[in-house]
Chain A
Amino acid sequence: MKFIKLKLKNFKPYYDKQDTHQEIFLFDEERKDKNITLNIGPTGHGKTSISEAILWCIFGDIYYKDWENFVNTLSVEIIKQKKENEVNMCAELILELEGEHYRVIRSGSYDIRNGQKMGESKLSILHNGEPINDSIGFIGDHFPTVTLMKYFVFDADDILKKFEENREGSIKDHINKIVGVEKLNEMINSLEEVMKLYDKDSREIESGIHGDIANKIKTKEEDKAKKEDAIKQLERGILELISEKKNLFKASPSPEVIKFSELVNKRDDLEKMTIDLNKRFKESNIISDMDLLLLYVVIDDAIKKLNQRPTTKEEFNFSSTVIKSSLGENYSGILFGKKEDTNLIKKGARIWDEDLDDLEKLDLGSGEGIKTHVIETFRYYEEQANKQRDNFGKYKKDFDKTMKELMKVRNEIRQIGDTTKNKELKDKYEKFRKFEKQIKEKVNLQEEIKEKIEEEIEKDIKDLRDELKRDEEQKREIKQIEEKRKETQILLNISKKTREEFLDDLLASVNRTASESLRSTVKDTDRFHSIEIDSNYKFRVKQKNGEALEERQINKGNLQISMMSFFFGLSKYLRKKIPYVIDDPLLRLDPGHDKRLIEQLSKTNDQLIFHMIPGKEYTTDSFNWLKPYINIQNWLYREKYKGLEFISYVERKDAEKIVYFDIDKF
């Protein structure tokens, strides 16, 4: 690809007096064996604006969204004077691609009223005078991204300055830009985060899983089956018993047998009643007082006897002692009243006095009289005896009644057995009853087992199945997560591999190209044999024997040329045959190196558009060694138009002849 011509209208300092556009010739197809275009001019004369115009033309808003700042200030003033509102800006790049010419036209409008752009810039590409359908696609197909385009359109001075300031950071930045490692790293980080989330989700779900439920269900079902078997066995037993029962009485039992049956049932009930009664009796605590039931008559008699018995001498003496201690010094005697009250007579009192004022109640205190104590003891036990007599009486009454009934029933049973004189029948019936009892027991047992199956086992199984279902759902969920995780892992692996491969590939390619460039640029190729940048972005210059030079062994000039070699190596890696537009290409390079570098670059036949400063880069010496490669020589001038603003203009010069720097003209 060659950039043939650039046409600019109201772009930065490029203002056309005729209000059309300025043309900047970039490649003369008549001299296609020479590939260097020189744009010579001091700082501020519009060299960098050419680079900016090319990038805006190709990429528009993607390159610079605030492109309204590119508007030519003179044109704004003139439009204002014309009382118009809109300034039209345009950059047109005519390029040659595989023998065909294309016109890439970028245009935009600037609204002077608010100082804003009027919408987005517009792109159109003409081929043979006709616009092509997919102009954006054309740019995408033939140019790298705007970021990578900066490896073709750049300021060499700026690049080297940044490299000197932060070598590894700068290398890393360039490499990452080239291979998109930063984006890849972001993606890898995101994928790793996603993986962690998947793992977390899986763990959380897994913690809710109950475990070996299937086995628990199996055990329960086995238990159920066993119980169902037991029911069947009972069923068989019942059927056998029914059959045997039927064998005993082919027809239904006779009235006698039925009567007999009723009596036996009654007997059983009564026997059960006596057992219950006895149980209650045993629990009633009467038994330890059964002696009182016999003693109550003895106790009753004892109380009567004691009450009638005269007071003994001992008892009298005991009573006297009590009375004496009660009287003390203040009383002279005791008066027994008509109402069985007992009063103390004060000493000196006249007991025949009618008012009896000097009497006081006798308080005998708590001392026990012997007779009284014995009587009290008897009375206590008399009371206990009566109570227990009543209790036992009730039990006995119930018991006697039940027993009487029982005896009667037993007697009747015996009588039936005797009157029928059919002991065989009686035995048969006993057997019949036994079978009935067994059947009843078996049926009850069956019911119990069925109930257990329904209420416990089946409920447990249902609960377990629900749990199992939940577990299975959760397992499915985990499986889905695992699948997603697996997919993410694959993507992660691919991303990591891609990063490594890209990096390895890039480094191998860049190292190779840069080394070739270095060897063709420096004189001492044994010493400066190759450039090696490792995966940690460490920059090394190696000797022919493979040993790396120490930093102090590389002077600034050699370092710069090595770095430039690396930089060109990067752009070569992009494998785009597009022109280089380089600001100040020789400004920082040592004499000798610059010549060899340019010679080396020229061999690639890529178009090289150099913006050079006269007197610094563009000198007699440099012109002489550049001359064989110069395709076009442009000189950039500027003037103050109508005393308003500086505007730039370009003059194409003879490429074969040196132009001396005329300070007055600048």
Chain B
Amino acid sequence: MPYDLFEGKGNVRKPRLKKDQEFFDRAKKKLGFPEEIDLVTFCAAIVLYKEHIGESLDKKDNLRLKEMAKMYSFKKGKLYDFIILNCLEVRENRLEEFEKYFYAGFEILKEWFEQHGPDVTSEIERFCGILDCLAGSSLDD
């Protein structure tokens, strides 16, 4: 059924590599996200935004991920499913597509942390930094 949420797929996944896992946990903590899925959606949103403003990004296919949040606890699942279906016009394997976006964003975030992380001390400063880096002054409107 095309209208079934993420085609009825079970769980969202997160990185399986130990190194990635460590960063995932650190980033969640440093950014102050209450749940793991919040970091996952934030990463996906980064890529969706970048593509929307015209940046073309390479997204990997063979992701090393492991199961994480159940779909029913993924509150914004419908939003992301609808974006992938209606905006990206991907009809099949939409959850895998979402995961590609997450992973691409995860890489961007990792890069940002590598570049700016050590100088920044608070959550608000990190978000300001990330959003400035991505969107410039468009958020200041």
Contacts and interface: CB of A to CB of B under 8 A. Distances in A.
Nearest to A389: B139
A281 B131 contact: no
B63 interface: no
B139 A295 contact: no
B45 interface: yes
Interface residues of B, number: 36
Interface in B49-93: 49, 52-53, 76, 78-79, 82-83, 86-87
B32 A298 contact: no
B125 A278 contact: yes
Interface stretch (A257-265, A393-401, A583-591): A393-401
Contact of B38 (A277, A288, A377): A288
B86 A294 contact: no
B125 A403 contact: yes
A281 B123 contact: yes
A282 B42 CA distance: 16
A294 B83 contact: no
Contacts of B134: 294
A301 interface: yes
Contacts of B49: 294-295, 297-298
A292 B34 CA distance: 16
Given A275-B122, A297-B52, A305-B86, A288 B34 contact: yes
A214 interface: no
Interface string A395-426: 11101100100000000000000000000000
Interface in B126-141: 127-128, 131, 134-135, 139-141
Contact of B124 (A277, A305, A378, A389): A277
Contacts of B141: 393
A298 B87 contact: yes
A282 B125 CA distance: 12
A425 to B, nearest CB: 27
Nearest to A309: B86
A312 B41 CA distance: 29
A205 interface: no
A294 B48 contact: yes
Contacts of A378: 79, 82
B124 A298 contact: no
B48 A287 contact: no
Contacts of B45: 290-295, 298
B44 interface: yes
B95 to A, nearest CB: 17
Contacts, number: 101
B35 interface: yes
Contacts of A292: 45
A288 B35 contact: yes
Contact of B86 (A278, A306, A392, A393): A306
A378 B46 CA distance: 18
Contacts of A282: 32, 123
Contacts of A399: 124-125, 128
A395 B139 CA distance: 11
Given A288-B35, A297-B49, A397-B140, A374 B124 contact: no
Contact of A400 (B3, B41, B83, B128): B128
A524 to B, nearest CB: 125
> Secondary structure at chain B's binding surface: helix, strand, loop or mixed?
helix
A649 B5 CA distance: 150
B33 interface: yes
Interface in A355-374: 370, 374
Contact of A377 (B44, B52, B79): B79
A474 interface: no
B33 to A, nearest CB: 6
B125 A293 contact: no
A275 B124 CA distance: 10
Given A287-B38, A293-B131, A389-B139, A278 B124 contact: yes
> Secondary structure at chain A's binding surface: helix, strand, loop or mixed?
helix
A263 B83 CA distance: 50
A291 B124 contact: no
A198 interface: no
A435 interface: no
A302 B80 CA distance: 12
B17 interface: no
**Of listed A290, A314, A377, A397, residue having the most chain B CB within 10 A:** A290
A377 B123 CA distance: 29
A37 B86 CA distance: 156
Contacts of B53: 297
Contact of B52 (A288, A301, A306, A393): A301
B59 to A, nearest CB: 16
Contact of B128 (A381, A389, A396): A396
A274 B62 CA distance: 42
Interface in A293-323: 293-295, 297-299, 301-302, 305-306, 314
Contacts of B46: 294
B68 to A, nearest CB: 16
Given A290-B127, A295-B48, A302 B76 contact: no
Pick the 9 closest A-B CB pairs, nearest first. A291-B45, A294-B49, A278-B122, A294-B45, A291-B41, A281-B124, A291-B42, A288-B38, A302-B87
Interface of B: 2-3, 31-35, 38, 41-42, 44-46, 48-49, 52-53, 76, 78-79, 82-83, 86-87, 122-125, 127-128, 131, 134-135, 139-141
Given A288-B38, A298-B49, 20 more contacts: A274-B122, A274-B124, A278-B123, A282-B32, A282-B123, A287-B127, A288-B33, A294-B134, A295-B79, A297-B53, A298-B45, A302-B82, A302-B86, A305-B86, A314-B2, A378-B82, A389-B139, A392-B139, A396-B140, A403-B125
